[in-house]
Amino acid sequence: MGTRDIYILAIESSCDETSASVIYNGKVLNNIVATQSVHEKYGGVVPELASRAHQENIVPVVSEALVSAGISKSQLSAIAFTRGPGLMGALLVGVSFAKSLAQALDIPLIEVNHMQAHVLAHFIENPKPSFPFLCLTVSGGHTQLVLVKDHLEMEVIGETRDDAVGEAFDKTAKLLGLPYPGGPLIDRYANEGNPKTFQFPITRMPGLNFSFSGIKTAVLYFLQDKMKENPNFIQENLSDLCASIQYTLIEMLRIKLEEASKKLQIKEIAIAGGVSANSGLRNTLTQIAKKKGWNLYIPKFEYCTDNAGMIAIAAHYKYLKGEFSSLDVTPLAKMKI
């Protein structure tokens, strides 16, 4: 095997998706994901159940990634894994598996920051953003505005001070009686509703920071008042409610993204993370991009949510720089970019 043949196996287990991917010389060959449905009846991710499901899924998922790439373990050049941020028990499964495999094969270990990987998902396929670019990373656990100077050089210039935007979607969906995860359902109903029907407050934070806990409280009190007058208010107005809530959340993201673009004079704009799959957000930013002359980059749906493909591309750049981890590495529930 020549120096050009670099195969890296990447493992992602930070929350409720067990995923494995093989990357060959910077080209992602596959992206195997096992999604856990066990959490739906609890209305949120239960960490202990997530850890157990990862333990059940990790061997078959890794095995499938190797088989579909058409390679054996002996051809691997390195093993990559998500070190953090995420649920400690869930991360432990991926970290332990990666360490054991790297040790058994006597090959390097590469730790990856999950939030960096979301940004680097843009380098899996063309078109790829040019440096420097701004990335709005939006998910169930994080909302960050990131200034990306190079593949491995990033700076968080704004972030949420409380709930992530994905949490706000899921929590308001719960108030509307929608099942977990409610964010995608709000998006679906919003397509049939009028976003201007109901007005909810837009929280304005200093600098480029966000706050999403206020909308949840505003929606709660609003619904309580309306349900007193009409117990069927939610059912009768579901589409308009979803459209109005979604419009308000997207507005808060749009305002700060536009502000950051103007302040830094950057027109290369990307979105990443699970909420970047939201059609309302995609459509709003596409329209603004045309108006403002932005080059807008949106990853394919499979690379928006948690996946090992993005861990693999991040590992590729770290491998090229020789950034390897020692075998005593431990997971981090909180980890800065």
Binding-site annotation: residue ranges for substrate:
137-141, 170, 183, 187, 278
Give binding residues for Fe cation as ranges: 114, 118, 306
Residue 325 is classified by DSSP as B
Would you tell me the crossing angle of helices 279-292 and 233-264 to the nearest 10 degrees? Answer: 40
Asked if 119 and 154 count as a contact pair (C-beta separation under 8 A), the reply is yes
Q: Are strands 153-159 and 143-150 parallel, antiparallel or unpaired?
A: antiparallel
3-state secondary structure (DSSP) of residue 45: coil
Residues in the annotated binding site: 114, 118, 137-141, 170, 183, 187, 278, 306
CA distances from 2 to 73, 127, 281, 288 (A): 16, 29, 44, 47
DSSP structural state of residue 129 = P
End-to-end CA distance of the chain: 34
* Residue 126, C-beta contacts closer than 8 angstroms, at least 6 positions apart: none
CA dist 280 and 273 (Å) reads 15
Q: Is 52 helix (H, G, I), strand (E, B) or coil?
A: helix
* Integer Cα distance of 122 and 135 in angstroms: 10
User: How would you class 1 by CB atoms within 10 Å of its CB: exposed for 0-12, middle for 13-18, buried for 19 or more?
Assistant: exposed
Residue 186's identity, in one-letter code, is: I
